[in-house]
Amino acid sequence: MGPLTLVQVTPLQGYLLLAAVLFAIGLAGALTRRNAILVLIGIELMLNAANLNLIAFWRYGPHPEALTGMMFAIFSIAVAAAEAAVGLGLVIHIYRFTHTTDLDQINRMKG
Amino acid sequence: MIKNADQIFVLLQHWVMSFFPTALQPIVGVLLAVVSIICVFPALFAIAVLMERKGLGRMQNRYGPNRVGPLGILQPVADGLKSLTKEDIVPTSADAVVHFLAPVFLVVVVFMGYAVLPMGRNMTLVNLDAGLLFFFAMGASTELSVFMAGWSSRNKYSLLGAMRAVAQMISYEVPLLLSSLVVVMMSGSMNLGRIVAVQNQYSWGLPHWYIFTPWGFAAFLLYATATTAESNRSPFDLPEGESELVAGYFTEYSGFKFALFFLGEYVGMLSVSGLGTTLFLGGWSAPFSFLTWVPSWIWFFGKVMLSICVFIWLRGTLPRLRQDQLMNFAWKFVVPLSLINLFVAGLWRFMGDGFARWGVCSAILLIAYVGMAKVGMQKKHFGPRSYRYAE
Amino acid sequence: MTIVFYLIAAITVAGALAAMLLKNTVHCALALTVAFAGLAIQFLELDAQFAGFAQILVYIGAVAILIVFAILLTRGSETPKDGVFSKSWLAGLVIAALVFAVLGWAVLNSTSVLPGETAKPAVSVLQIGNALIGRYVLPLEIVAVLLTSALIGAVIVARQEKGSAK
Amino acid sequence: MQETISFTPQVGTSGIAQMLCLIPAVPVVASGVIALLKQPMRKTAATLAVGSLSFSLLLSLFAFAHVVSGWSHGHAVREVVNFTWIHVGATNVDLGCVLDPLSAVMLVMVCFVGLLIFIYSTGYMVHDENCTRFFCFMSLFAGAMLGVVIANSLLLLFMGWELVGLTSYLLIGFWYQKPSAAAAAKKAFLTTRVGDVFFLLGMVWLASGTGTLLFYNNGGGSMEAGALASLLGQHACWGLTAAGAIGLLIFAGAAGKSGQFPLHVWLPDAMEGPTPVSALIHAATMVAAGVYLIARVYPLMAAGSLLGGTTTALTVVTWVGAFTAVFAALIAVAQDDIKRILAYSTVSQLGYMMAGLGMGGVAVGMFHLITHAFFKALLFMGAGSVIHGCHDEQNIRKMGGLKADMPLTFVTYAAGMLALCGVPIFAGFWSKDGILEAGSHWSVSKGPVALLIFGALLTAFYMTRQVAYVFFGHWRGHKPAHESSAVMTIPLVILAIFACVLGLFGTPAWPWFQSFLGGRATPVEFRALLEPNVLLVSGVSVFVVLLGIVLAWWLYGDKSPKPDQPDVLQKAVPMPWAWLRNRLYVDEFYGVTFIAFYAWWARIADWLDRRVWGGAVSGVAVAFRGWAQVNRLLDTHVVDGTFDKGCEELSTGGGLLSRIQNGQIQAYLRWLALAVVVLAAILIWSSRA
């Protein structure tokens, strides 16, 4: 991350930027990849980026002892896990019917 | 003096660190500890292999390996040399990178597990506050390496073996965590050192080990089954069941990578039994109050080797479980029992001292044990065998 | 900013990029685990041990395996014949870039607002436990219910219909 | 010398007065029933017609008796039965019947003569297949005529008047197959129509002037003093008072119907109808209706005249009457058709009556009308039997010597001819003499008397010429004539008797008729005959008549010239003869003036209609078509354009929108991310201050 060293950046901003990068990558993946599972992976990445944000703000936030950031991250991890499970379950189910995980072909919900 | 014996390794470490500039000292200290672990536990691995082969032999009324060195003591050295010199065959269609990374990742992850084990008084590499959680995190990662191994070798049998292994390890991870959770609940901390310190108290000469409490004993048994399954040993060694799946997920491995897998498995077994000792058998605490003079780490390693014997013993006696029986056993017997055990522990905690709580807890546990056996373990009546062919 | 941060950040970003760009889906999943590991280390860097270890346990231990399982069950492991990326990949990229631009711009321009260097918070698992049972007991219960229902839901959704030997 | 007749105010209506309206009703009903009969039922039709008229005759006789008895008891009888016909808002239109000496006399005359003609026509029309239709029209005509007679309201009179006009048209055109008959019927109808228009104008003026159309209404009627006074007050034009003007207008109507000078052209052509028709209509009744009308309206015309004096209206009537008398007589001299001669003689005699009314008052005119009705009917029926006998031959030059073959007809015809000429003791002499005598007293001028005397001469001349041609000489026709049957000759005999006897009722010595009409007692004094003026007048008239007969006999006598030989007079005075032959070119004159004008005006109207109105209508049509064109253009381009275009836009828009929902999850995600970016940008941008 060349530019960062040039610009005087506080540690928090570093983490936020990292989170932003990760989020962007996750979003790009989710938007571009054809395979449904990879979209889910992209979403997982975006969630993790959010967690990183939370923890960063908690760490450099005014009241770290309040543990809000940490708690939020933990709960977010739990929910993300549940979401991943259900998401993958759905993908498998769709595969069972359409024999494909290619999102471009799964468009039965067309308007 | 006794104290010095007990802390000999710590003193050695400090002594060596003293040769280095202060800036580097923490790093040197850590390095020393790591090096020591990396040396000690493979040695223990060799001993364990020897004991297993000799023990099994004895159980099966035959001598174990006695050709290499006196009484076959050098057999592990011979195996090591053999595996090092054997040609490392990688199947062409295999996914080279993942194929190579699998054993490496396995070994690294397992050895990281040792960072938190208290091998003796003051002899824990990293005294983490959430040490237990770290250990389980590392334990969970082994499944990924197993899968990588199975998948990368592009072999139907290895893939099937890997899938079975992963399914089994995930299923038994839940009871593993739940049983250790009981200890955390009672000891009030996830720091292993703290847990050992809590057990290191003696009343009437008997240590406060958790195993001597009804819920502790139940938890230890559940822990034992879970760990045997986690490390794919004995009744649960279906993944590399030689008779059906050749060698499970490491069939395509040969030479040093195969040795690494072997090392990983045994070291995993050692670490898990080490955790078992710290959680239930009081870690480095002496069995009796009068034996506390003996250096703590002896006790730790003694208990670990004892557990290994039990593992070997189990391997020699119990028949292999079928995959569905195995899963059934996990989800319909072990997990419910551990949940009930949690409940009992809670009950234990709030019933205050006295025999009442002994009676109630042990009664509940026995009833649960018998009930679960009845409900969970019904013989599954199978209809006519239905064949499923791959599309 | 410590060297470690840069190193780990680089590893994480590389992992994430690989997860998104690799052709073989299983490789993507593995790259994803690398990214997860990188993030866990970042959490540790931020002195959030519990979160880091939870991240490792949950993501690397469970989610990664789950994803891999899903890939194998849906035959995703074979490389798809026609292109890995969907037809309108450029739009996705552009939009992602836009999002990053907005976020980055917001971060860089809010230096005045964000708090600077602060002391290392000493957080013990005990405190976390108390917080969970104390202040955050309601979210805890709700997450418990959520996880149970997700468990059951996922099983039902992905379960093989009885008798259909598909 | 007219005197105001004073009538005792009506107390109650006697029985007969009530039944008065039955008299016209019965013949009309009979005609209705006959109309329903089938063609071959001639016998029943005839009996019905004759029966109904005889019933009316009976009633008339009762009425006449009632009036006479009343008169004989010294009070003149006038009974009026009025009823409201239409009630419109404030005004109501009243009709009514009146029974007074004038109407009684007319009733009896019309019924009696009508009955005789009906009996005559049963014999005459028996061979005609349309006999039922004939009797239907005849009884309808009789009913209408009786209606005119008893009418107390000018409106009811006018209705009867029109009905009579209609039936005359139908009867003249009875043999409609003959084009000349049809043309004659049309001509008659149209010319009387012209007269009726003036009649209507007069009626309307009278109604607006006096407020009522009733003649006598216990003092309120238009002919009574009150109304007359009001009319006198209004001044019309050319020195005429309103009353005079209305009277002249009504006279124009009467002139049309009675064939006076300007409108007489239709009467000679009316001979195309069967002879009984001519007899009934063109001799006795219809033509008399005009004179009766003037008699009925006499108080109106005579209003404002000093005692013995006269009004301009009456002067006009007299001059027109006198001129018509001479004019018609001249033409009659040169005619060959037996019925046409009689027609022109009727016209001249009507002229005499009008002159009599104008100069002598109601009684003088009416007496001549009654007597003329009898002998003219006789002459016409005589001509009818002659024609019947000569197998429908009408030209007198082809007949001759019939006095031997048809002796009875000859005798009755001779009596009629003598009465018509005015030979003493015959009816004609007394009534014509009365007119001449009145003329001599006429204060305005002696011209009309002179004309009338010359007329008398001409009458005597052409009648003897006709008799000479028809009855004397020898038979020039190709088939021998034969006497008519009894049913035709009996009426002739009866009428002949009346022709002789009737005159005696009105002689100066015993003026019964005049006093009856006047409502005075009738003293009998032979000395009146010997008054110097009376003697002078009668002497002159006798001389003139004899002169005429001798002259005619001298010219035509028993010579019976060849049919193709020119007439004696023709040889003598060819130029005037030709003029007279062609009826003094009156028809042609009309053809050239009125008809030409009318044709020209029709052409203008046609051009106007086709070009102007047609043009306007087609213009409107074109405008509409143009507007429709514009509408179509508007519709297709503007409305369709916008509306359809709008719908298309909508659907494409819809399409666009639906395309967004394309089922691609990633597309949704893209939109989502984009939205996030935009919102974030907005948020940042807005909070940067």
D461: closest CA among D580, D366, D367, D358? D580
D673: closest CA among A43, A51, C99? C99
How many beta carbons lie within 10 A of that of residue D64, not counting itself? 20
Report chain A's mean pLDDT, rounded to a whole number.
85
Identify from D677, D682, D687 which residue to disrupt to test chain C contact, counting C C-beta atoms within 10 A and taking the largest count: D677
Q: What are phi and psi of B129, to 5 degrees?
A: -65, -40
Task: Decide: D455 and D348 in contact? Cβ < 8 Å.
Answer: yes
**Nearest CB partner across the interface for A85, out of C42, C51, C66:** C66
Structure confidence at residue B65 as a pLDDT band (50, 70, 90): confident
- Beta strands B206-207 and B202-203 are antiparallel
| Gap between the Cα atoms of C124 and B257, Å rounded | 40
| Gap between the Cα atoms of D355 and D248, Å rounded | 14
Strand extents, DSSP E, chain B: 202-203, 206-207
Residues of D with Cβ-Cβ distance to C112 under 8 angstroms: none
| Gap between the Cα atoms of B158 and C56, Å rounded | 26
The amino acid that residue D530 corresponds to is L
**Nearest CB partner across the interface for C16, out of A26, A58, A80:** A26
- Give me Rg for the CA atoms of chain D: 38
| Gap between the Cα atoms of D196 and C86, Å rounded | 109
- The two three-digit tokens of residue D164, written as one number: 């009579």
Structure confidence at residue C46 as a pLDDT band (50, 70, 90): confident
Instruction: Note the pLDDT tens digit of each residue in A6-65.
Output: 456 778 888 999 999 999 999 999 888 888 898 999 999 999 999 999 999 888 878 777
B341: closest CA among B226, B174, B230, B216? B216
- The two three-digit tokens of residue B169, written as one number: 């390890």
Residues of C with Cβ-Cβ distance to B99 under 8 angstroms: none
Does the beta-carbon distance from C46 to A15 stay under 8 Å?
yes
| Gap between the Cα atoms of D316 and D323, Å rounded | 11
In chain A, the domains with their CATH numbers are 11-98 (1.10.287.3510)
- The two three-digit tokens of residue B212, written as one number: 């001597």
- The two three-digit tokens of residue B361, written as one number: 């807890």
Instruction: Note the pLDDT tens digit of each residue in D538-552.
Output: 888 889 888 888 888
Structure confidence at residue C78 as a pLDDT band (50, 70, 90): low
Q: Residue A32, by phi and psi: left (phi above 0), alpha (psi -120 to 50) or beta?
A: alpha
Q: How far is CA B357 from CA A46, B19, B195, B363, in A?
A: 50, 55, 22, 10
D652 CB within 8 Å of a chain A CB: no
**Nearest CB partner across the interface for A104, out of D659, D664, D673:** D664
- The two three-digit tokens of residue C6, written as one number: 């840069």
Helices (H), C46-88: 49-55, 64-73
Q: How far is CA D652 from CA D636, D639, D644, D658, in A?
A: 21, 19, 12, 9
Task: Decide: D344 and D328 in contact? Cβ < 8 Å.
Answer: yes
ipTM reported for the complex surpasses 0.90: no
Instruction: Note the pLDDT tens digit of each residue in B368-384.
Output: 888 888 877 777 676 77
Tell me the average pLDDT across B192-215: 87
Does the beta-carbon distance from C61 to B98 stay under 8 Å?
no
Does the beta-carbon distance from D670 to C88 stay under 8 Å?
yes
Task: Decide: D420 and D463 in contact? Cβ < 8 Å.
Answer: yes
Instruction: Note the pLDDT tens digit of each residue in D55-88.
Output: 999 999 988 888 888 877 777 778 888 888 888 8
Residues of D with Cβ-Cβ distance to C94 under 8 angstroms: none
Tell me the average pLDDT across B284-297: 85
Q: Is the pLDDT of residue B135 over 90?
A: yes
Provide the terminal-to-terminal Cα distance of chain C, rounded to the nearest Å: 55
Chain C residue with Cα closest to D683: C106
Burial readout A46-56 (b: 16 or more C-beta within 10 A, e: otherwise): bbbbbbbbbbb
- The two three-digit tokens of residue B175, written as one number: 């009871």
pLDDT at D54: 92
D687 CB within 8 Å of a chain A CB: no
pLDDT at D396: 82
Does the beta-carbon distance from C102 to D677 stay under 8 Å?
yes
Identify from B129, B172, B387 which residue to disrupt to test chain C contact, counting C C-beta atoms within 10 A and taking the largest count: B129
Q: Is the pLDDT of residue D261 over 60?
A: yes
Which of B176-180, B231-235, D653-657 holds the top average pLDDT? B176-180
| Gap between the Cα atoms of D575 and D330, Å rounded | 14
Does the beta-carbon distance from C127 to A65 stay under 8 Å?
yes
Identify from C22, C44, C68 which residue to disrupt to test chain B contact, counting B C-beta atoms within 10 A and taking the largest count: C68
Task: Tell me which H or E stretch contains D497.
Answer: helix D486-501
Rounded to two decimals, the pTM is 0.55
Strand partners, D79: D99
Please list, in sequence order, all residues whose beta carbon lies within 8 angstroms of the beta carbon of residue A104, skipping any fewer than 6 positions away: A34, C86, C87, D664
pLDDT at B175: 92
SS3 D258: helix
| Gap between the Cα atoms of D215 and D122, Å rounded | 38
Least confident of B241-255, D220-234, D420-434, D603-617: B241-255
Residues of B with Cβ-Cβ distance to C27 under 8 angstroms: 95, 98
Instruction: Note the pLDDT tens digit of each residue in A69-101.
Output: 888 999 999 999 999 999 998 888 888 888 877
Identify from A38, A94, A104 which residue to disrupt to test chain D contact, counting D C-beta atoms within 10 A and taking the largest count: A104
Task: Decide: A48 and C39 in contact? Cβ < 8 Å.
Answer: yes
Instruction: Return the HEC string of A35-101.
Output: EHHHHHHHHHHHHHHHHHHHHHHHHHCCCHHHCHHHHHHHHHHHHHHHHHHHHHHHHHHHHHHHCCC
Q: What are phi and psi of B234, to 5 degrees?
A: 40, -120
Instruction: Return the HEC string of B215-254.
Output: HHHHHHHHHHHHHHHHCCCHHHCCCCCHHHHCCHHHCCCC
**Nearest CB partner across the interface for C106, out of D673, D674, D684:** D684
User: Is the model more confident about B4 or about B346?
Assistant: B346
pLDDT at A73: 92
The amino acid that residue D454 corresponds to is F
Identify from C93, C94, C102 which residue to disrupt to test chain D contact, counting D C-beta atoms within 10 A and taking the largest count: C102
Burial readout D433-467 (b: 16 or more C-beta within 10 A, e: otherwise): bbbbbbbeebeeeeebbebbbbbbbbbbbbbbbbb
- Give me Rg for the CA atoms of chain A: 18
The amino acid that residue C156 corresponds to is I
Q: What are phi and psi of B123, to 5 degrees?
A: -110, 45
- Give me Rg for the CA atoms of chain C: 20
Structure confidence at residue D265 as a pLDDT band (50, 70, 90): confident
Neighbours of chain D (3+ CB pairs under 8 A): A, C
Task: Decide: D256 and D196 in contact? Cβ < 8 Å.
Answer: yes
| Gap between the Cα atoms of D502 and D499, Å rounded | 6
pLDDT at A2: 47
Closest approach of chain A CAs to the CA of C38, in angstroms?
11
SS3 B285: coil
C97 CB within 8 Å of a chain D CB: no
CA A54 to mean position of chain CA atoms:
12
User: Is the model more confident about B302 or about A105?
Assistant: B302
Report chain B's mean pLDDT, rounded to a whole number.
86
Chain D residue with Cα closest to A33: D666
A31: closest CA among C70, C98, C79? C98
Neighbours of chain C (3+ CB pairs under 8 A): A, B, D
Structure confidence at residue C88 as a pLDDT band (50, 70, 90): confident
CA D555 to mean position of chain CA atoms:
38
C158 CB within 8 Å of a chain B CB: no
- The two three-digit tokens of residue C33, written as one number: 């685990």
| Gap between the Cα atoms of A58 and A60, Å rounded | 6
pLDDT at D98: 87
Regarding chains D and A, contact by 3 or more CB pairs under 8 A is answered as: yes
Among C residues 20-59, those touching chain A with beta carbons less than 8 Å apart = 20, 25, 28-29, 32, 35-36, 39, 42-43, 46-48, 50-51, 54-55, 58-59
Report chain D's mean pLDDT, rounded to a whole number.
83
| Gap between the Cα atoms of D492 and D482, Å rounded | 16
The amino acid that residue A74 corresponds to is I
| Gap between the Cα atoms of B226 and B269, Å rounded | 12
Can you state the percent helix, strand and coil of chain C, rounding each to 5? 70, 0, 30
D666: closest CA among A16, C115, A31? A31
Chain B residue with Cα closest to C70: B163
| Gap between the Cα atoms of D243 and D222, Å rounded | 10
Q: Is the pLDDT of residue D315 over 90?
A: no
| Gap between the Cα atoms of C154 and A93, Å rounded | 10
How many beta carbons lie within 10 A of that of residue D539, not counting itself? 10
Closest approach of chain A CAs to the CA of C127, in angstroms?
9
Half-sphere exposure of D603 (CA within 13 A, CB side): 5
CATH code 1.20.120.1200 for C1-78: yes
Burial readout D622-637 (b: 16 or more C-beta within 10 A, e: otherwise): eeeeeeeeeeeeeeee
Rounded to the nearest 10°, the torsion over CA D561, D564, D567, D573 is -140
pLDDT at C116: 67
Least confident of B242-246, B255-259, D119-123, D221-225: B242-246
Structure confidence at residue B385 as a pLDDT band (50, 70, 90): confident
Q: What is the DSSP letter of D420?
A: H
Among A residues 14-33, those touching chain C with beta carbons less than 8 Å apart = 14-18, 20-33
SS3 D83: strand
pLDDT at D7: 63
- Count Cβ atoms within 10 A of the Cβ of residue B323 and give its class: 0-12 exposed, 13-18 middle, 19 or more buried: middle
Tell me the average pLDDT across B1-5: 74
Neighbours of chain B (3+ CB pairs under 8 A): C
pLDDT at D645: 80
D655 CB within 8 Å of a chain A CB: no
Tell me the average pLDDT across D600-607: 89
- The two three-digit tokens of residue D630, written as one number: 């514009």
B137 CB within 8 Å of a chain C CB: yes
